Every structure is written in C-alpha cells, then in structure tokens.
Amino acid sequence: MRKIIAVLLLVLTLALPSFGQEFKETLGAVDLADGDTLVFLGDSITHQCLYTQYVEDYFYTRYPDRRIRLHNAGVSGDQANDALIRFDEDIAEFNPKYVTILIGMNDGHYTRFEHEIFDAYKKDMTTLLDKIEAIGATAILMHPTMFDLRPVLMGGKEFEGEEARQIHYNAVLAFFGAWGLQQANERGLGYVNMYEPLNRLTREQRKTDPKFTMIEDAVHPGPDGQLVMALALLNDIGADPVVSSIHADRKGDKWVVEADGGTLSDISSDKIRFTFTADSLPWVVPEEAHLGYRIADAGNKMSRETLRVTGLKPGRYHLKIDGKSVATFDHVQLAAGVELQGNSNTPQYAQALEVATLNRKRNDEAVEPMRDMWGRLKRYRERREEREDEEEEEEAEPSQLDKWRADFPKKVANLHEKAREFEDEIYRINKPQPHKYDIVSVE
C-alpha cells in the first residue's frame, strides 16, 4: 500500500506545477540599436506588408540616424510547421535580435476547437520558440488577429456554406492566443495583443454602423485594421510615444522657451519666435490607413508632438512655421497644449509623409514581391510532395521546383538589394530639418 501511495505522489508531483519555482522576468521593452534586426514572422496577414510597413514608418521617422534592419518573413497560408521548414533561410539567416510571431489564423483550420488540431499547433510553436532561442534571438509572441464573423453572416458567394463551420472561430483564436500568452509568461518573452483592440474598436464602431468591419473577408485586416495592429505592436514592445514637446512661457516681460526631443536656437525674448530642430519626425502613414489611425487615437498614443504657450493675452493666434500659417488657436487652447502630429499643414508632417510614401513603394516593389517568391516556393514544394505521395518514379527528371529553386537565392537577393536601395533613399530624406516658429495675434 505504501508503495502504491509513493507512486501516486510521484505522478502528482510530475503532473502538477512546481509551486515556489523561479519565474523569468517579462520582457518590458525591446532595445533595438543601430545594426540590429527585427524579423516579422507570420502568415498572409504579415505577407500583406501593411502592419509591418506602418511599424517600419515609425522606426524610420522616430530614429532617423539608427539603421535598424526590418525583415518581413510572412508567407500566405503558413502554419507554424511551415515556418519551421523555412526557418534557417528566412529567419536565422538574418541574425535577428527579436522575432515577432503572428501565426495561428490558419493553424485552427477555420473550424470549431479540436484538441488534435491544437496539439499540432502547440507542438510546432514550441519547437519554433526553441529554435528562436537557440539562435540567440528573443521571440515576441502575438495573439492571432480577429476573425470577423459579420462579413460571413452578411453573405456573399465566397462565404457560402461557411457559417456553421466558422461561427465559433473567433473564440478558437482566443484560446490559441491565451496559450501564447502563457508561453510568453513562462519563458519571459514579449507578447502583443493584436486581438483585443481589433475586437474592441470594431464593437465601438458598430454602435453607429452595424455593418462596420476592418476585415472584409473575415480573415485579412485591411489598412485600417493593420494600422490598429501596428499600434498594438508598438505599444506592447514599449516604443517611445513622444516626438517632441515645446513650452513657451511669459516671465515678466520676457518669453522663455524650453523643449524636449530637439534643439532650440534663435530664441527671441520679446516675442514668441524661435527655431526648433526636432530629433525625429511624427509617425505618419498613407491615407488608406487614416481611419484606423483616427479611431485608435494612434497619434496621441504613439506620436505626440506638443506645443504649449502660457501667458498669452486673451485672443486668437496664428501658429506659423517657416512663415506659413499652419493652424489658428485661442489662448486657452495654447495654454492647455496643442498636438501637431496630425496637422498635415506642417513641414514635418509633409516630410514624414514623404518617408511613408517611399516606404510604401519599397514594400510594393521589393518586399511584397520577395514574399511572393517565398509563397511560390511553398506551393511548388507542396505540389511535389503531393506527386511523391501519389507515385514514385524510379528515374524522375528534375522537377519544376528543382529548376526554379536553383535561381531562387539570386532572385531573392536581387529583391533584397532593391529594398536596401529604397531604404538608402529613405534615410536620405528622413533627417529632421530646422523650422522657424512664430506665434502671432490674429488681427
């Protein structure tokens, strides 16, 4: 009897968590220095080159003198096992410091929760996390994005017969994401909740528009949804939310100006006039993502560029930058502080938009075609595996994949070079310039 009890105690000891064990610190913020690499690993949602592009826009404008390598490693249709197959060439090859992982949308197979399906996902994701750790990188797990059932319920040919199969899929993704959070906690890794803000903001918008969606095909967020995702990523990796702040204050009959996030010069004491050279530019994204930027309050949360003036006489005032009026405020607004990051009339906004526009071209002409190459390689591989399963030829001629694969490294290298050329141009135009500020009364 004692022997049986001892065996049972041993089993319980092995099965239950070890209470009193040491826990790893949770990753609070990423630390990306000049020359470091951040890899975005994912499926088609990463292959879209949108949330990754908007995060790139942030780094290009917030750190104009810091060359951080940003590599998109998304492939349409990927599951965790597919990422393992291309791991050495598409992730480890770049010697990343951090690897974000947005995988799971396809792993649940778009159906109700099945233990067998989840166990396969868990096994492959665990292996993937181990491989990332083995190359000296830190993984940043991301909760799978929202599956929006509303477009399915509204109908359309592409959704015929899908309602019953997919009706609980958003909840399945919540389960997958909760497991990822647990892994991040146990391993001391980064974690980004892409799921919550997409669901929350969608629900808020449906209070006035029941048909609102940021995910028209139920799976792939459009630009607005991807902007929400970019903000979530930046927020959860501890990105700096402040561009600059300027405060002009009347002291007696003199004006005193102070600033953070840049350098002041040519300050006039008898009027509000000074030159300010910021250390960075505001975070500006292409027009197609403006709705997402607005409803997520992305400017205030990740791109604060503030001006505050106290001691003004009651009245209305022009804010002029480089001699041009960019906005009009009253003395109360200026005393409380105004935010400029969303003001498209400012020269710094125009410069940041030029960066974002060029980066969009970089993604359209170099990065996305590169990801298409990886997707094509995957399809060739899958077709060859299917043929091998059907029949084995004794002396098979080289497959189409073998012929295409021989040229693959060169073609991908050419696209990387093209992306670098765009990036060189981005770093030529992203340096903040000095601008002359004037606050003058509206006459």
Place of tokens 């975070």: 283
* Residue 297 token pair: 């309050």
347-362 vs 51-62: helix crossing angle, rounded to 10: 130
* Residue 405 token pair: 């694969």
Residue 61 C-beta-side C-alpha neighbours within 13 Å: 32
pLDDT in tens, the chain (443 residues): 565 555 444 444 444 555 566 778 888 899 999 999 999 999 999 999 999 999 999 999 999 999 999 999 999 999 999 999 999 999 999 999 999 999 999 999 999 999 999 999 999 999 999 999 999 999 999 999 999 999 988 876 566 556 657 788 999 999 999 999 999 999 999 999 999 999 999 999 999 999 999 999 999 999 999 999 999 999 999 999 999 999 999 999 899 999 999 999 999 999 999 999 999 999 999 999 999 999 999 999 999 999 999 999 999 999 999 999 999 999 999 999 999 999 999 999 999 999 999 999 999 999 999 999 999 999 888 887 776 655 554 444 556 677 888 899 999 999 999 999 999 999 999 999 999 999 999 97
DSSP 169-222: HHHHHHHHHHHHHHHHHHHT-EEE--HHHHHHHHHHHTTT-TT--S-TTSSS--
Sort 132 into a burial class: Cβ within 10 Å, 0-12 / 13-18 / 19+: buried
Residues 162 and 85: their CA atoms lie apart, in Å, by 30
Which element (helix H / strand E) includes 68? Answer: none
* Residue 144 token pair: 């799978």
pTM value? 0.91
Query: Strand runs (DSSP E) across 43-169, as ranges?
Result: 69-74, 98-102, 138-142
Would you tell me which CATH number, out of the four given (3.30.428.10, 3.20.20.80, 3.40.50.300, 3.40.50.1110), belongs to the domain 32-236? 3.40.50.1110
Residues 57 and 239: their CA atoms lie apart, in Å, by 13
98-102 vs 37-42, strand pairing mode: parallel
Compute how many other C-beta atoms are within 10 angstroms of the C-beta atom of residue 428: 9
Residue 211 C-beta-side C-alpha neighbours within 13 Å: 2
Residues 207 and 246: their CA atoms lie apart, in Å, by 38
Sort 328 into a burial class: Cβ within 10 Å, 0-12 / 13-18 / 19+: exposed
Q: Report yes or no: 420 and 67 within 8 Å, Cβ to Cβ.
A: no
Place of tokens 């170099």: 366
User: CA dist 379 to 32, 121, 350, Å?
Assistant: 34, 21, 41
CA 247 to chain centre: 32
